[in-house]
Amino acid sequence: MSRASKVTLGLVTAITGLVVVAVHNTQVTEREAMHQGVVRDEERQRQKRERALDFEMSAKLREEYEKLQPVSNSEDKPKR
């Protein structure tokens, strides 16, 4: 093989290796980003469930308090 063909083969091999490494790193980064999306979704769902439970508890407490002490709405009072 001539010197030019050896240099060309070496350069092509090196460039190919760099491309493979770059693609691999890109895939790893994208996979991690996608996983973070799943983690964020799970956290949002957990917060949503927590807020729903808080709302239910507030509604039950309100019912209990209204049984003990009736509450009149401001709409029931005549306006002057």
- Per-residue confidence (pLDDT) for residue 71, from 0 to 100: 77
Q: What pLDDT score was predicted for residue 63?
A: 93
The amino acid at 22:
A
Per-residue pLDDT of the chain (80 residues; tens, 9 = 90+): 899 999 999 999 999 999 999 999 999 999 999 999 999 999 999 999 999 999 999 999 999 999 998 877 766 565 55
In angstroms, the Cα distances linking 80 to 20, 41, 72, 77 are 80, 51, 17, 9
| pLDDT of the residue at 60 | 96
